[in-house]
């Protein structure tokens, strides 16, 4: 059986539930399809506390990050429950939360490429980046991904 | 008694240096949000960009806000702390006594006590907002508000640079694919 993989990036932006609803509607009954909820976070930036003693306060930022990560994990779990409660089988859902090193668009493209995904489901404002700040995530994904069907909910 | 000055010149230098070393606009915004939350000991910080036409505020980066609050609904510049659109800083020291919020109930449920919203302005045009959220009633000092306005201008500059950089890249792409007449 040829397994199909669906990548659904999620950043908790308003309107992203449309991507979830589309994924549920399009893929829940396809038994050879798995869905990956994908989210990223940024680590607390490195702080030069020697040249700037006041910034020592920021070393406490790691505890903030732990709290932020926990909040993100809970949010993704709730999102997974939303998928399950709307009929998507739990055993076909995977959740990935990882540290971000590049732009959101680049992280999504890398994940879609390296993870050998067949479908990428996005919303128009997947990154909170308006047109004047460059190409949107979906434009960049369409331009850079081969053999991946990109679905954009508007 | 006047409010404390929390943004000292040392802190300001540290934040500006870290922001300047960031590689892209999203990292700039995330770095600023994380630094301000840690350094000011506030609940959360978010950087929004303003989508022209729809007046929607799009979350470019945030730190400290729960996923459910972030996804509460679309935020519009003319409904949420609207005088930001005129380039004015909006301070809501106690959100329970304000009618300026678009989602007041969700803000209370999130545990937000006060919000400060600083417009991000570049070349006289509002391009976004820098918002700080405190879990308690909060009235920042005039000096801190002025410092935040300068940091918002730094973000505005970074946005302008990103805009210019992407425009140049797009022009290069078009020119390199076009068949130009030989001179």
Domains of chain A: 4-153 (3.40.50.620)
- In this structure, are residues B145 and B116 in contact, taking their beta carbons and an 8 Å threshold? yes
Two structure tokens written together for B110: 């999130």
Burial B26-55 (b: 16+ CB within 10 A, else e): bbbbbbbbbbbbbbbebbbbbbbbbbeeee
- Per the CB < 8 Å rule, is B74 touching A14? yes
Q: pTM for this structure?
A: 0.84
| pLDDT at residue A146, rounded to an integer | 86
Q: Which of A109, A128, A129 is nearest to A120 (CA)?
A: A109
| pLDDT at residue A46, rounded to an integer | 60
- Per the CB < 8 Å rule, is B39 touching A55? yes
| pLDDT at residue A140, rounded to an integer | 82
The answer to whether residue B42 scores a pLDDT higher than 70 is yes
Q: What is the rounded CA–CA span in Å between residue A136 and residue B81?
A: 27
Least confident of B112-126, B133-147, B156-170: B156-170
Residue B41 Ramachandran class (φ > 0 left, ψ -120 to 50 alpha, else beta): left
| pLDDT at residue B132, rounded to an integer | 97
- In this structure, are residues B93 and B138 in contact, taking their beta carbons and an 8 Å threshold? yes
Which residue of B34, B74, B128 is the best one to mutate when testing the A interface, meaning the one whose CB has the most A CBs within 10 A? Answer: B34
Mean pLDDT by 10 residues, chain A (154 residues): 87 88 95 95 66 56 76 94 96 94 88 95 70 71 88 84
Pick the CATH number of B9-177 from 3.40.50.720, 3.40.50.620, 3.40.80.10, 3.30.450.40: 3.30.450.40
Q: How far is CA A79 from CA A84, A88, A90, in A?
A: 9, 12, 12
User: What is the tens place of the pLDDT at every residue in A7-26?
Assistant: 999 989 888 889 999 999 99
- Per the CB < 8 Å rule, is A128 touching B37? no
The mean pLDDT of chain B is 88
The answer to whether residue B48 scores a pLDDT higher than 90 is yes
| pLDDT at residue B76, rounded to an integer | 93
Q: What is the rounded CA–CA span in Å between residue B90 and residue B117?
A: 5
Give percent of chain B above pLDDT 90: 51
Q: Which of B169, B142, B171, B166 is nearest to B26 (CA)?
A: B166
- Per the CB < 8 Å rule, is B67 touching A12? yes
| pLDDT at residue A92, rounded to an integer | 96
The answer to whether residue B37 scores a pLDDT higher than 80 is yes
Q: What is the rounded CA–CA span in Å between residue A21 and residue A53?
A: 49
Q: Is B106 on the interface with A (CB under 8 A)?
A: no
Q: Is B66 on the interface with A (CB under 8 A)?
A: yes
- CA A142 and chain centroid, separation: 16
| pLDDT at residue A16, rounded to an integer | 87
| pLDDT at residue A61, rounded to an integer | 54
List the single residue in A with minimal CA-CA distance to B60.
Answer: A128
User: What is the tens place of the pLDDT at every residue in B79-137?
Assistant: 989 899 999 999 999 999 999 999 999 999 999 999 999 999 988 899 999 999 999 99
Please name the residues in contact with A134: beta carbons below 8 A apart, sequence gap of 6 or more: B162, B163, B165, B166, B169
Q: Is A107 on the interface with B (CB under 8 A)?
A: no
């Amino acid at each position: 059986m040829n397994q199909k993989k669906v990548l659904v990036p999620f950043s908790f932006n308003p309107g992203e539930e449309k991507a979830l609803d589309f994924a549920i509607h399009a893929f829940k009954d396809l038994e050879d399809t798995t869905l990956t909820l994908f989210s990223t976070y940024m680590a607390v930036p490195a702080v030069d506390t020697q040249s700037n003693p006041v910034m020592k306060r920021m070393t406490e930022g790691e505890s903030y990050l732990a709290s932020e990560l926990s909040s993100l994990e809970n949010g993704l779990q709730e999102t997974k429950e939303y998928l399950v409660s709307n009929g998507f089988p739990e055993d076909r859902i995977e959740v990935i939360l990882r540290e971000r090193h590049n732009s959101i668009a680049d992280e999504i493209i890398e994940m879609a490429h390296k993870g050998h995904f067949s479908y990428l489901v996005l919303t128009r404002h997947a990154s909170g980046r308006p047109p004047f700040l460059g190409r949107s995530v979906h434009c960049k994904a369409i331009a850079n991904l081969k053999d991946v069907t990109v679905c954009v909910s508007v | 008694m006047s409010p404390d000055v929390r943004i000292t010149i040392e802190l300001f230098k540290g934040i500006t240096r870290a922001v300047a070393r960031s590689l892209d606009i999203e990292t700039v915004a995330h770095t600023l949000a994380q630094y301000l939350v840690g350094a000011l000991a506030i609940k959360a910080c978010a950087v929004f960009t303003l989508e022209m036409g729809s007046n929607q505020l799009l979350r470019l980066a945030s730190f400290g806000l729960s996923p459910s609050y972030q996804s509460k609904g679309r935020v519009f510049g003319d409904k949420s702390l609207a005088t930001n659109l005129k380039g004015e800083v909006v301070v809501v020291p106690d959100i329970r006594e304000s009618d300026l919020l678009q989602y007041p109930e969700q803000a209370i449920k999130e545990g937000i006590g006060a919000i400060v919203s600083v417009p991000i302005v570049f070349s006289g045009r509002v391009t976004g907002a820098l918002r700080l959220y405190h879990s308690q009633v909060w009235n920042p000092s005039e000096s801190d508000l002025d410092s935040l306005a300068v940091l918002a201008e730094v973000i505005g500059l970074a946005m302008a640079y990103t805009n210019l950089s992407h425009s140049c890249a797009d022009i290069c792409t078009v020119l390199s694919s076009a068949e130009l007449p030989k001179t």
